[in-house]
Amino acid sequence: MSQEALLNVVDLSIELTDSVPRRTLVRDVSFTVRQGESVGLVGESGSGKSMTVKAAMRLLPRAADATGSIEFEGVSVLDMGRRELARYRSSDVAMIHQDPRAHTNPMQTIGDFLIEGVVSAGLQSKAAAIDRAIGLLDEMGIKDAPRRMAQYPHQLSGGLLQRVMIASALMSEPKLVFADEPTTALDVTVQSEVIAIMVEQIQERGLGMLFITHDLDLAAAVTDSLVVMYAGTVVEKGKAHDIYAGPRHPYTAALLASRPSTTHVKRLVSIPGRPASAYEVPTGCVFAARCPFATELCRSDRPVARELDGRVVACHRAEELTHELKTAASA
């Protein structure tokens, strides 16, 4: 795997400026996506995953202020001018959204949807774009691609339409793909097929991928490394296999414990309390209010993220809870 960094996020913080006091949505988030690497950004709703991706695309609302550093191939995304930003969005990166019907025009054919971006950006001629679109639909396993090009979104099933979205993301030959909950809107039986196609296409092209999901099981299966977020903060990050086999943060262990078993029937374990936003958590560990292992130190002092056994973890008690967390995650 190449070690060239595509996306490098360092100490990213996001605040809403239209409230008094300002509301923090993301706090000091750092991670890197390298060429040919897939990184999973995992957490419950409200953890700051999607806001982080919007910041990386420079698509935050006007009332949101991003600080810190976001670099793509060494160039600051936050400082890009209009032309640089247009080129970055049109050819360097691409997005696969979670709801394909919300991101297609019901009045536009599949073919027009696929070629519009690359043709208007001057990346390909119309004829070349049509040929590429048909080829990509074939690679997505969509039969009779020329006929599908003339159809409208409502004429395709959710699974087929999401394959079209993957093809759309690959049309411009990007270097990095953001996949934001790409199978949430699909039936369970279709999800595995779409994920397999997406991962295969990205791996064959040697692209980087930032895979955003609430499903830690899924993220561990399809990514090389994981970044686990809670309340706008990174609580653990490292190699996907290592984190899945032995979580070192109580929140990561709780996510693993709450997944349904595929081998035997058991009562689902839920995480007590409710997910918190970054601006709601007091001083101390962001997960302290829901953590069964929290002490007074956890409630009063925010832990500093540090390296531990080849990963980064933000927990005061990470070393002493190794066995307990592994047991809790596999229960």
Q: For the chain, what are the domain ranges?
A: 247-331
Residues forming a β-bridge with 174: none
Long-range contacts of 110-117 (CB under 8 A, 24+ apart): 110/148, 110/149, 110/150, 110/151, 110/152, 110/153, 110/156, 110/164, 111/149, 111/150, 113/153, 113/164, 113/168, 114/149, 114/164, 114/167, 114/168, 114/171, 115/171, 117/90, 117/168, 117/171, 117/172
Q: What predicted TM-score, i.e. pTM, was given to this entire model?
A: 0.92
Give me 183's structure tokens.
């199978």
Backbone angles phi and psi of 137, in degrees to 5: -60, -40
**Alpha-carbon span 219 to 259, nearest angstrom:** 13
What is the structure's pLDDT at 112?
97
What are the average pLDDT values for consecutive 10-residue runs of the chain, which has 331 residues? Answer: 81 92 93 96 93 95 95 97 95 91 93 96 95 96 95 94 94 95 79 90 94 92 96 97 95 89 68 90 93 95 93 95 85 67
Q: What is the pLDDT of residue 2?
A: 45
Which pLDDT score, from 0 to 100, does residue 116 have?
Answer: 95
Element (H, E) at 312: strand 311-313
What pLDDT does 263 receive?
60
CA-wise closest residue to 209 among 253, 245, 179, 173: 179
Torsional class of 248: left (φ above 0), alpha (ψ -120 to 50), beta (otherwise): alpha
Distance of CA 119 to the CA centre of its chain: 28
